[in-house]
Amino acid sequence: MDPVLNQTSRNLFTAKWTFAFLLVFLFGLGAFLRFSDLASPLLDFHPTRQLFSAIKARGLYYQTLRDAPAWQKDLAVRQFSGEATIEPPLMENLAAGLYVRFGQENTAYPRAISATAWLIAASFVFLLSKNISHSLPAAFASLAFFLFLPYAIPASRAFQPDPLMLMLVVIFWWSIEIWSRKSPDFRSAWGWAILAGLAGGLAIFVKFPAVFFIAGGALGAILANSSLKQFWKHPTSWVIALLCLLPPAAYLYYGLFMNGFLGQQFGSRFYPELWSKPFFYLRWFLALSEVMNVLWAALAVLGWLVFSHKPAKVFLAALWISYFIYGFVFAHHISSHDYYSLPLIPIAALSLAPFAAEINSILSKKIQPSRYFQIITLVLLLITLSLTTIKQYLNLRNNDYRQQAASWAEIGDALGHQPGVVALITDYGYPLAYYGWQNVSIWPLPGGVGRFDEDFVLHTRKKAYFLITDFDEYNRQPDLQKELSENYPVLAQGSGYLIFDLKPPKP
């Protein structure tokens, strides 16, 4: 029997019934937040990244349709074909498969996949936290952090591969940590080695940057309980390495040498020149602070450096180091895309476990609370979690993007879904492409404009319409305002958009 569950007479929080109730309660609230209103538009969290996947999934789906309007099928396939491919389009294919299965395109399906993946990851965060802290209350603290961190709510229900990747990474950490403790016993280590290898290989296959956290987790587990010399002597080690490398290696070989579509996709991703720039570190810090409050990050570092025991300290150190190496390799992305710091959430959750265990130990020794006090504490905890959930749910409902999606659809209708549109627009035109079924050429920002007269002719040649939706940027380009307003009539305008007809100039 697990020793932390065999304390029913003294500690209410480690009693079996309390354990089961709290676990169900936490996962119930976490699932409620993630599965509420899944059909909402993909404009809530990094719309460019989500709509990139949505466009690809729609193209895959429309290729299977026989009765779709010809123009929609053609446009969906052209939009899909025009997008780059780096990691395998696993989420997109899963989404398209569900569209086919249920007979409709509904982005609630891929959102549900991401939400489910996050909840599965949460269960393994809980198990691993208990293993490294030897404290059930500490594991519950890590679980609550992972489920209710404000940034994690929209991130965990986004249509992108990151939640699925994170689930597989956490499963790898959990299994490799157990494997490293059991590896002297060959027979009991084989199952954990196979599970770790499969999870690690699939995580890297889903998204290549996972390799940093797979390598970091493996190195940390080995050094925490053994040594690299013993690692290479153990046959299960080679099984883990082989299973981790085979899926991504096969995909890379196919993409580079057989199909060739990966040949130019890895450029513009490595910027070592940023390492010497102070603004890079400031931007990284600001992006990180969007993911979690600085106080939580400080407590996580404190838990890792001060309160964790040696095996856990070594294991967590490897995870933190892997995050920073990953950040320096992807310097541009880590400082400009806050979701690139998403893997830090489970690292912080695990690092909080030793801190929570220490606090729980001090309180248990000094206060020795009565059963009545424990019941009051439990009730207050449940009320706090419930109020937190209500607040997060209201935030989700208040940020309703249906009107924005309808506005993009209105713009697409006004343009007639025809080619020949140049636009000054946000998010690279992805919302209009998806919700408005309208492709556009992007008008450059001032830094990309040379001589205005020449650039205007270049960008509007063979174009029928000029669309404005980014009015802040439009106001910063007086030459463009003058040219359009003085020489071209307004075709249509509405809330948030203005369309100029480029075909017939004013007499």
pLDDT in tens, 243-265: 999 999 999 888 887 776 765 55
Per the domain annotation, does 105 fall within a domain? no
294 in the same domain as 163: yes
CB count, 10 Å around CB of 350?
31
356 in the same domain as 464: no
First to last CA, the chain: 89
Per the domain annotation, does 224 fall within a domain? yes
258 in the same domain as 140: yes
Eight-class DSSP state of 301: H
Per the domain annotation, does 371 fall within a domain? yes
Last residue within a domain, chosen from 398, 423, 448: 398
Last residue within a domain, chosen from 351, 368, 398: 398
421 in the same domain as 379: no
Per the domain annotation, does 45 fall within a domain? no
334 in the same domain as 435: no
464 in the same domain as 394: no
416 in the same domain as 392: no
269 alpha-carbon distance from chain centroid: 18
Find, among 421, 424, 464, 416, the residue nearest to 439 by Cα. 421
Last residue within a domain, chosen from 359, 383, 398: 398
Per the domain annotation, does 44 fall within a domain? no
Owning domain of residue 295: 3-37+113-398
Task: Report the distance separating Cα 503 and Cα 507, nearest Å.
Answer: 12
Per the domain annotation, does 43 fall within a domain? no
418 in the same domain as 453: yes
Task: Report the distance separating Cα 407 and Cα 438, nearest Å.
Answer: 13
Task: Report the distance separating Cα 459 and Cα 451, nearest Å.
Answer: 12
Residues 344-396: pLDDT tens digits?
999 999 999 999 999 988 877 777 767 777 788 888 989 999 999 999 999 88
Eight-class DSSP state of 467: E
- Position 374 scores a pLDDT of 75
Domains contained in the chain, number? 2
Task: Report the distance separating Cα 323 and Cα 507, nearest Å.
Answer: 61
In this prediction, the residues of the chain whose per-residue pLDDT falls under 70 are 1-14, 184-188, 260, 262-269, 369, 447-450, 504-507
380 in the same domain as 256: yes
Per the domain annotation, does 71 fall within a domain? no
Task: Report the distance separating Cα 458 and Cα 443, nearest Å.
Answer: 10
Per the domain annotation, does 81 fall within a domain? no
The answer to whether residues 13 and 133 touch, using CB atoms and an 8 Å cutoff, is no
Contacts of 271 (CB under 8 A, 6+ apart): 331, 332
pTM of structure: 0.92
Burial of 377 (0-12, 13-18, 19+ CB in 10 A): middle
Instruction: Please give, one letter per residue, the 3-state secondary structure of 18-37.
Output: HHHHHHHHHHHHHHHHHHCC
296 in the same domain as 427: no
Find, among 249, 252, 272, 247, the residue nearest to 262 by Cα. 252
433 in the same domain as 323: no
256 in the same domain as 196: yes
- Position 152 scores a pLDDT of 97
